[in-house]
Structure 1
Amino acid sequence: MAFVEPVVLRDRGVRLEPLGLAHEAGLRAAAADGELWKLRITSVPEPDQTGAYIEAALKMRAEGHRFPFVVVNDATGEVLGSTSYHDIVPPIQRVEIGWTWYRQSVQRSHVNTTCKLMLLTHAFDTLGCAVVGWRTDNYNFASQKAIERLGAKKDGVIRHHAVRRDGTVRDTVMYSMTAGEWPEARAQLLYLLNKPR
């Protein structure tokens, strides 16, 4: 049995479901909202690469080290983006959350916080994770702020770590949250989601 089994998660009008080839058109439309593939610091696929992006994610899922989700508006079925568990290490009960991106029109809305609440709840409360990690480009300051807002702690920076789409090499900023930190982080996420806008 795989450490991460297929699951559909729902909260606050957002649905996470296992990514599949049937989501290609929806993902392509989501990426086109803001031409997100033009950002050098993200993993958003170019329109003609969306199918290959999904196939690569499904191959990693079959190998057991990534579980990709598509993010969907639960009421309309519109695809909002994608996110994944990755670098799944069952012997130490560790997963990371990443490969995350959303169509521009839902960025800075409740969608990201809701997705992280669902993924963290599932990781800690269902999978029994001891730690959840994140990694991001050293120049992706918006991502770093979003991760820190979740209550994650900065572990450090891995220098000269990964190639960007433009061929430059990035430093990677690493974050994590332990099971012991989760109750306080959950309380803060619920506070953020419940306060009036």
Structure 2
Amino acid sequence: MMPNAPILTSAKVRLEPLTQKHATDLAHACQDGKLWETAYTFVPDPQSIPTYIATANDTEDRIAFAVIDMATNQAIGSTSLYRIRPDVKRLSIGYTWYAKSYWRTHVNTECKLLMLTHAFEALGYQTVGWCTDIINTQSQNAIERLGAKKDGIIRGDRIRQDGTITDSVFYSMTADEWPQAKTQLEEKQKRYE
């Protein structure tokens, strides 16, 4: 049975179920850096945001969130729990993007702390995974900073927005590794206070 879509809140970020009410904010957010032009990650262009939201919510094993900046109460990006496998207590975190002005800020740390705490502590899952493009070293570095371990590379795994076939790098974290990773994330979070 799929877990329910929660609202997850910290002092600076709120993750709430993604709906069409977020479309206008997200159209503005993706224009901050023209993120849809990035070949190695999928970010919708402003006109396709409503379709992006509908697809995210129609995907059976995905819970999509709008990332809300608590200071402005505006949606600044999106992230998801997906590949949710209740039978083996495993899920992945992905489909993550933020307006470029929020890169390398508190936002990613806050979001991942909220999502990992929910996955491991509220849901009792055993493994959380991530997947990123082989050339997306920025994403790989961010995942590694969370404390995730590199599982390997799957060659010819997916198609980029530009139609080219690419390799994927997979990472995971287990429930046993979570306490140490949580401590590190909480320490990192304090630097943004």
Pairwise CA distance, 1:12: 2.7
Q: Which runs of 5+ in 2 are unaligned?
A: none
Partner of 1:10: 9
Q: Which runs of 5+ in 1 are unaligned?
A: none
Quick check: 1:152–1:177 contact (8 Å CA) kept in 2? yes
- Structure 2 CA distance for aligned equivalents of residues 190 and 163 of structure 1: 35
Residue 119 (structure 1) aligned with residue 115 (structure 2): yes
Give CA-to-partner distance per residue, 1:130-189, whole Å, 9 cap, x none: 000000000000000000000000000000000001010110000000000000000010
Superposition pairs of residues 31-180 of structure 1, within 5 angstroms: 31-60=30-59, 63=60, 65-180=61-176
d(CA) in 1 for partners of 2:81, 2:161: 21
Task: Describe the superposition over 1:19-72 as per-residue Cα deviations: whole angstroms up to 9, x where unpaired.
Answer: 011111111111011110000011100111111111110100xx2x10000000
Does the C-alpha gap of structure 1 residues 179 and 77 become closer, same or farther in structure 2, counting only changes over 3 Å?
same
C-alpha distance in structure 2 between counterparts of 1:103 and 1:126, whole Å: 28
1:29 is aligned to 28
Instruction: Give the fraction of aligned pairs with identical amino acids, expressed as a percent.
Output: 48
Structure 2: how far apart are the matches of 1:142 and 1:188?
A: 19
Residue 196 of structure 1: CA displacement? 6.4
Distance 1:49 1:161 in 2: 24
Q: TM-score, normalised by structure 1?
A: 0.95
Give the counterpart letter for 1:192 in structure 2. K
What do you get for the CA RMSD once the two structures are aligned?
A: 1.1
Contact 1:3-1:127 within 8 A present in 2 as well: no
Residue type at the aligned position of 2:172: S
